[in-house]
Amino acid sequence: MNWLLLARVLGLLCMLVGGSMVFSLPWAFPVFGETPEFETRGFWGIVAAIGCSLVIGGGLYLLGRREQGTILRKEALAIVGLSWILAGVLGGLPFVFSETHSAPGERMTPADALFESVSGFTTTGASVLTELEDARTSARDESHMESPLGEHKAALEQPQVGQKLIPRCVLFWRCFTHWLGGMGIIVLVVAVLGQLGAGGKALMRREVPGPINETVRPRVRETAVVMWGIYMGVSVLLTVILILEGMSAFDAMCHTFGTMATGGFSTYNASVGHFSNGSYNGPLIETTLIVFMIAAGTNFSLYYLVLRGGDRKTGSRRGLRRFGPLVGDPEYRVYLAILALATLALTITLRTHGIYDSIIDAFRHAGFTVVSIMTTTGFGTIDFHEWHQSAKGLLLLLMFVGGCAGSTGGGIKVIRFILFLKILSLEVERAYRPNVVRKLKVGNATIDDGQRHEVLVYFSLVLFIFISSWMVLATIEPNTQWQEKGHTEAEKLLDCASAVAATLNNIGPGVGVLGPHSNYSQFSTQGKLLLTLLMLLGRLELFAMLVLFSRSFWKSQ
């Protein structure tokens, strides 16, 4: 292991994370009126976090600045895994230094801050914050004006009615971590710094999700710049649309971060359901978010091919034919088909069990929820905890599917399910035709035996981690927290399973007590740390994190 090279790259990452916090500082100052003392604490909390990040990053960089070695497989795995851990730790500092409250009268603990930060960077969207705003701040935000946060009392330890528990600048940082982690912080390092040489390709291969990762340009830095350029361009477009539909600039940017990163952090307790009141055009906003959530769950390299106006083999195309790489991609077609069929099934379920009187309302909420869950975004328009068990069962299954490879979505990925079903089909045929040899193909790509093995191992490992983590979480969580809410041990078992599935697949909300309007505050400190680890495992697709626990991995040879 090249420790000096490791220190240099991690130092660059720390300084980049610290520098990214600067974008949150302007939101501490209202457009009109004086800056509340509450926001001042948030401002200086972020400043302190920036200082710590730069000092730590600068120290690591100076330690390895003279090392010009090559990033090999082991270094790439170590850098990716440790980078996400470091980003989570540094990203939690603003919550701690600003003395942010997770609930009225309760400051966030370091474990809470780490959970919230890792949830942001991994685009999980799980939260330990019980309140983001109350009735009076909601009424203020409905005016669509960039105005002060309301009249705040001076005492931080006892927030009064009408206060936000989170300073707006810290709330912005919380959502911004989604956007940074969506395309990948390592991809951002490669795009911005470009000092990693040939090792940059090894790093991106370990971070970009999915079993089939094709670069869209021959040079790795150009690939990173292209991907981030597309990501940024679509984000700007969505922000402008949401502002035109009535959101404030602050809300539009925060919900854009959650949508494009398929994260799900909102600025309101009711999530996207907040915009269903009479002050907003709720259905229009929901439709816009559905379109862009689907787009975020799509392989971003396909967008590059569409923009280029051709495909990998035939060159440029014009007119509708330029969309050939997108509509011709087998994973994309299956992705859309699953979304459509799941929406139809959920609509029928909701209408059959009388959850909604109108088929239009059933379709509206079913469509948004299916897209939000399958793309692992986690936004909510309604609390599906009240839905029928069959509806919640369908959502639990969708949690494991996820988006496409090369997207910002989590989950197992659609392409792996396609490969898994094809492998099963070949194995069934081999049972009665043992001499027949068939190639495994997806579209025009031939899948070799190594990739087949990886798919089977990945499914097995996901199943093992899910079951073992479920049992561990159910064991370490005290029953008293569920008994106080009138829940049985069976309901606790379901809640723990839902929590593991939601964090391992980077979704955020689960079923049971972890619905879109609930949170993870009821879990113990050790439970939150376990779920934090699951979020990292899910985002890095297991191996980049698992190798860190291997003693032989850290040996020189």
Answer for the pair 90, 30: CB distance below 8 angstroms, yes or no: no
Highest mean pLDDT among 261-265, 343-347, 481-485, 522-526: 343-347
Nearest to 199 by CA among 40, 72, 347, 346: 72
Terminal-to-terminal C-alpha distance of the chain: 8
Answer for the pair 128, 528: CB distance below 8 angstroms, yes or no: yes
Name the burial class of residue 315, with classes exposed (0-12), middle (13-18) and buried (19+) by CB atoms within 10 angstroms of its CB.
exposed
DSSP character at residue 159: P
Among the ranges given (188-197, 229-238, 524-533), the one the predictor scored with the smallest mean pLDDT? 188-197
Give residues with Cβ within 8 angstroms of 536, minimum separation 6: 81, 84, 85, 88, 118, 122, 545
DSSP character at residue 272: G
Asked if pLDDT for residue 484 goes beyond 80, the answer is no
Rounded to whole angstroms, the Cα distance separating 94 from 84 reads: 17
* Residue whose entry in the numeric block shows the structure tokens 């790093």: 203
pLDDT band at 329 (very low <50, low <70, confident <90, very high): confident
Rounded to whole angstroms, the Cα distance separating 178 from 187 reads: 14
Mean pLDDT of all residues in the chain?
82
pLDDT band at 206 (very low <50, low <70, confident <90, very high): low
Over residues 422-450, the mean pLDDT reads 83
Question: What are the angstrom distances between the C-alpha of 272 and each of 103, 290, 366?
Answer: 21, 11, 14
Answer for the pair 132, 164: CB distance below 8 angstroms, yes or no: yes
Asked if pLDDT for residue 175 goes beyond 90, the answer is yes
pLDDT score recorded for residue 35: 63
Q: How many alpha carbons lie under 13 Å from residue 547 in its C-beta half-sphere?
A: 19
For residue 480, how many other CB atoms are within 10 A of its CB?
Answer: 7
Asked if pLDDT for residue 237 goes beyond 70, the answer is yes
DSSP character at residue 36: P
| Helix 249-260 with 220-244: angle, nearest 10 deg | 140
pLDDT band at 550 (very low <50, low <70, confident <90, very high): confident
Answer for the pair 396, 527: CB distance below 8 angstroms, yes or no: no
Over residues 291-307, the mean pLDDT reads 89
Give DSSP secondary structure letters for 216-261.
SSSSHHHHHHHHHHHHHHHHHHHHHHHHHTT--HHHHHHHHHHHHT
Please state the pTM of the whole predicted model.
Answer: 0.87
pLDDT score recorded for residue 100: 86
Give DSSP secondary structure letters for 371-440.
HHHHTT----SS-GGGS-HHHHHHHHHHHTT---TTSS--SS-HHHHHHHHHHHHHHHHHHH-TT----E
Q: What six digits make up the tokens of 305?
A: 């091919």
Rounded to whole angstroms, the Cα distance separating 61 from 297 reads: 35
Share of the chain above pLDDT 70, in %: 81
Asked if pLDDT for residue 447 goes beyond 70, the answer is yes
Asked if pLDDT for residue 203 goes beyond 70, the answer is no
Asked if pLDDT for residue 21 goes beyond 70, the answer is yes
pLDDT score recorded for residue 164: 55
Asked if pLDDT for residue 250 goes beyond 60, the answer is yes
Q: How many alpha carbons lie under 13 Å from residue 256 in its C-beta half-sphere?
A: 20
Asked if pLDDT for residue 137 goes beyond 70, the answer is no
Residue 198, φ and ψ in degrees, nearest 5: -65, -20
Asked if pLDDT for residue 43 goes beyond 60, the answer is yes
Q: 3-class SS at 311? A: strand
Asked if pLDDT for residue 147 goes beyond 70, the answer is no
Asked if pLDDT for residue 163 goes beyond 60, the answer is no
Positive/negative CA dihedral, 119, 125, 131, 136: positive
Over residues 130-159, the mean pLDDT reads 43
Asked if pLDDT for residue 216 goes beyond 60, the answer is no
Asked if pLDDT for residue 444 goes beyond 80, the answer is no
- Beta-bridged to residue 274, according to DSSP, are none
pLDDT score recorded for residue 490: 72
Name the burial class of residue 211, with classes exposed (0-12), middle (13-18) and buried (19+) by CB atoms within 10 angstroms of its CB.
middle
Over residues 459-484, the mean pLDDT reads 88
pLDDT band at 193 (very low <50, low <70, confident <90, very high): low
Asked if pLDDT for residue 255 goes beyond 80, the answer is yes
Which carries the bigger pLDDT value, residue 356 or residue 205? 356
pLDDT score recorded for residue 142: 41
Rounded to whole angstroms, the Cα distance separating 444 from 314 reads: 13
pLDDT score recorded for residue 11: 92
Asked if pLDDT for residue 176 goes beyond 50, the answer is yes
Give residues with Cβ within 8 angstroms of 184, minimum separation 6: 204, 207, 208
Answer for the pair 290, 379: CB distance below 8 angstroms, yes or no: no
Answer for the pair 396, 446: CB distance below 8 angstroms, yes or no: no
Which carries the bigger pLDDT value, residue 15 or residue 191? 15
Over residues 527-536, the mean pLDDT reads 94
pLDDT band at 262 (very low <50, low <70, confident <90, very high): very high
Nearest to 111 by CA among 433, 527, 464: 527
Asked if pLDDT for residue 218 goes beyond 80, the answer is no
- The β-bridge relationship of strands 445-447 and 440-442 is antiparallel
Which carries the bigger pLDDT value, residue 544 or residue 59? 59
Give DSSP secondary structure letters for 474-502.
HHHS-THHHHTTT--HHHHHHHHHHHHHH
pLDDT band at 141 (very low <50, low <70, confident <90, very high): very low
Asked if pLDDT for residue 310 goes beyond 70, the answer is no
Rounded to whole angstroms, the Cα distance separating 378 from 346 reads: 17
pLDDT score recorded for residue 485: 67
Asked if pLDDT for residue 491 goes beyond 60, the answer is yes
Report domain extents, the chain: 3-207, 222-456
Element (H, E) at 447: strand 445-447
Give DSSP secondary structure letters for 69-126.
----HHHHHHHHHHHHHHHHHHHHHHHHHTT-EEETTEEPPHHHHHHHHHHHHTT---
* Residue whose entry in the numeric block shows the structure tokens 């190639």: 439
Nearest to 505 by CA among 367, 390, 365, 411: 411
Q: What six digits make up the tokens of 385?
A: 């905890």
Answer for the pair 88, 536: CB distance below 8 angstroms, yes or no: yes
Among the ranges given (187-191, 222-226, 348-352), the one the predictor scored with the smallest mean pLDDT? 187-191
Asked if pLDDT for residue 34 goes beyond 70, the answer is no
Asked if pLDDT for residue 115 goes beyond 70, the answer is yes
Model pLDDT for residues 344-395, shown as the tens digit of each residue: 999 999 998 888 888 999 999 999 999 999 999 989 888 887 788 888 889 8
